[in-house]
A and B are shown apart, each in its own frame.
Chain A
Amino acid sequence: DQQVKQNSPSLSVQEGRISILNCDYTNSMFDYFLWYKKYPAEGPTFLISISSIKDKNEDGRFTVFLNKSAKHLSLHIVPSQPGDSAVYFCAASSLLSGTYKYIFGTGTRLKVLA
């Protein structure tokens, strides 16, 4: 049972436009969410996070939005750059469960076209 889902395996966006990557989760106990970026042959690198007490967190070109009622989060990249081409993973965790382990989605491959 996949508790964190990224239903779009791939996404292509023109350089300079907005990239929107989506992530859905089923466990209402999740209260902390992260996005990771992964280049080929490298490990995932932490990008941005959001706590469930917020609905938006911004860091430069990257903004994460959280809609708790819909159990949905999204990562917006504006403007998109060719160097953003990578696989993006969302991950969720629950402080209340006490385990602090992250459940990852399967990833979305973003391709930014020059």
Chain B
Amino acid sequence: DTAVSQTPKYLVTQMGNDKSIKCEQNLGHDTMYWYKQDSKKFLKIMFSYNNKELIINETVPNRFSPKSPDKAHLNLHINSLELGDSAVYFCASSPGWGENYGYTFGSGTRLTVV
């Protein structure tokens, strides 16, 4: 069983569309994250939820909206997609907030905006 699963793995869409990326973890972790890997391979945190509550909200356009229906799921919705949104998006989870455990990452969603 995949510990942290993201769907879809690949997403090609046109500018201006709205799309969602889903993430689910079956590790029983309390904390989930979204990271964006840019073209230079730099991994940057976007959002973090702990037990369905938003705890990290980095400076990202408000076209990006995370949603956590329960602590096992953290979805990312993106409105009015732009070319610059093309990147690989990684979901991750960790056992708890404030604990220095290594994260478990999903395999990534490659988003291409054309």
What residues make up the interface of A, taking CB atoms closer than 8 Å to B? 2, 32, 34, 36, 41-47, 49, 51, 87, 89, 91, 93, 95, 98-102, 104, 106-107
Contact = CB atoms under 8 A, between A and B. Distances in A.
A99 to B, nearest CB: 7
A54 to B, nearest CB: 13
Contact of B4 (A43, A51, A89, A101): A43
28 contacts: A32-B100, A36-B105, A41-B107, A42-B107, A42-B108, A43-B90, A43-B107, A44-B103, A46-B102, A46-B103, A47-B102, A87-B41, A91-B43, A93-B100, A95-B100, A98-B98, A99-B56, A100-B98, A100-B99, A101-B45, A101-B48, A102-B45, A102-B103, A104-B35, A104-B43, A106-B40, A106-B41, A107-B41
Contact of B100 (A36, A43, A51): A51
B97 interface: yes
Contacts of A91: 43
Contacts of A44: 43, 90, 103, 105
Contacts of B105: 36, 43-45
B63 interface: no
Interface string B59-103: 000000000000000000000000000000010100001111011
Contacts of B100: 32, 49, 51, 93, 95, 100
Contacts of B45: 101-102
Contacts of B41: 87, 106-107
B106 to A, nearest CB: 5
Contacts of A104: 35, 42-44
A41 B37 CA distance: 12
